[in-house]
Amino acid sequence: MLQTSKDPERLAAQVLILAGELPKPELIRSLAPASMVNAYGPTEATVCATIWTCPADFNGSVVPIGRPIANTRVYLLDGHGAPVPFGAVGELYIGGAGVARGYLNRPELTAERFIASPFVEGDRLYRTGDLARYLPDGNLEFLGRNDDQVKIRGYRIEPGEIVARLCEHAWVREAVVLARQNGGGHKHLIAYVVCAPEAGSDEGGGGALAGALRAHLSARLPDYMVPSAFVRLAALPLTVNGKLDRNALPAPSDQAYALAAYQLPQGEVETALAQIWAELLGVERIGRNDHFFELGGYSLLAVQMLGRASNLGLSFSATDLFRAPVLKELASQICLQVQPSNSAVISVRPNGSQPPLFFVPSGFGDCSYVLGLAAEMDADCSVYALPWPPFDDVRRRLSSFL
């Protein structure tokens, strides 16, 4: 173990070569008197493939893995084997003199991981399974494994990319992002963070940490990559082997969501909406200042909410929700109407001078795509969705609109 604080002058005269796990920026800064090299490379590429030499004045939030060493070529490729744009995330492939011939007595695995290079004739590439991107200065940033990839609502998401952006925030020391089902049975992203002292305490609640980290990520990532909840931990749980113990990560409490300062819903409409939101979003307590999309809402849940609200006699459209996603603001635009208890007509766009258009989805309850179609349509007509009722019932409901 290095005793850096007791003998900094002796350390300054040495060169430290770091490899294995990606070092944290705090460790690099604590070893500042020494000359440091951060190396990356799997065994299949003969130990090292890239290196980064730390500058004496390093004060960054990212520790790169550097550039290829001599006689080594590195490529960042997408799922089709094409190079990704500069700054985009890709899988890291290694070519050159150091690439191994394959795995002993494992022909199938060798064929999967070692491929002929489409870029250099006669060269072989090793497919690492690691994700990386180029930083503006040309160095590579390691972003984790591609076998951690998750798929949510049709989007393929690399949790390592979200973690990298989270760790850029001054409040975050360590982070893990994974997908899990919420109380409503829907899969969403959860971020687990170990905070720096600058983050303060959790006293007072209200989701202040969640709100700050959500705003940070929203400015850097698309909406579908922003976690619904941010769970603060004193330390990440580890197995006896020192690896992350994913099974020990707790389910998020209400405080982990970007909840506004709580105010009890007022009136029949707000109370009904709050109950629907709580069931769909898996949040126990919804206040009148809470934001549907900041709590993890998305288009499919919006359609489900419209259907449930319609059954309760609450008349509003998807447009109303997107324009007023805060509970009390949405409630102020809703008309309470008496409707048949078995009515499931969902008003997607209520106004228009032309005859209305009705969507009857091909699968039970699957009408989330109607929101996107209605937004793309250049037609002056109202739009409704009916979630797969029997044909006679469809005809009866349509007749009430015509």
pLDDT given for residue 363 in this prediction: 46
pLDDT lower than 50: segments of the chain: 1-6, 204-206, 337-343, 363-366, 388-395, 397-399, 401-402
Assess whether the region 8-145 and the region 149-256 belong to the same CATH fold: no
Q: What is the pTM of this model?
A: 0.54
Q: Which long-range contacts (CB under 8 A, 24 or more apart) does 204-209 make?
A: 205/255, 206/255, 206/259, 206/260, 206/261, 206/262, 207/254, 207/255, 207/256, 207/257, 207/258, 207/259, 207/260, 209/171
DSSP-derived letter for residue 312 is T
For 8-145, CATH number out of 3.40.50.1980, 2.60.120.460, 2.30.38.10, 2.30.130.10 equals: 2.30.38.10
pLDDT tens digits, one per residue of 21-73: 778 788 888 876 668 899 999 989 988 999 999 988 888 888 999 999 999 99
What CATH architecture is 149-256? 2-Layer Sandwich (3.30)
pLDDT given for residue 94 in this prediction: 97
pLDDT tens digits, one per residue of 132-190: 999 999 999 998 888 777 877 767 788 888 998 898 898 898 899 998 876 666 778 99
CA 307 to CA 365: how far, in whole Å?
Answer: 9
Where do the domains of the chain lie? 8-145, 149-256, 267-399
| Tokens of residue 360, six digits | 């009857």
Q: Report the alpha-carbon angle 265-317-328, nearest 5.
A: 20
| Tokens of residue 321, six digits | 């929700």
Q: Which CATH superfamily hosts domain 267-399?
A: ACP-like (1.10.1200.10)
| DSSP-derived secondary structure for 47-110 | S-SEEEEPPTT---S----BEE-TTEEEEEE-TTSPBPPTTS-EEEEEEETT-----TT-HHHH
Q: Would strands 67-68 and 381-385 be described as parallel, antiparallel, or unpaired?
A: unpaired
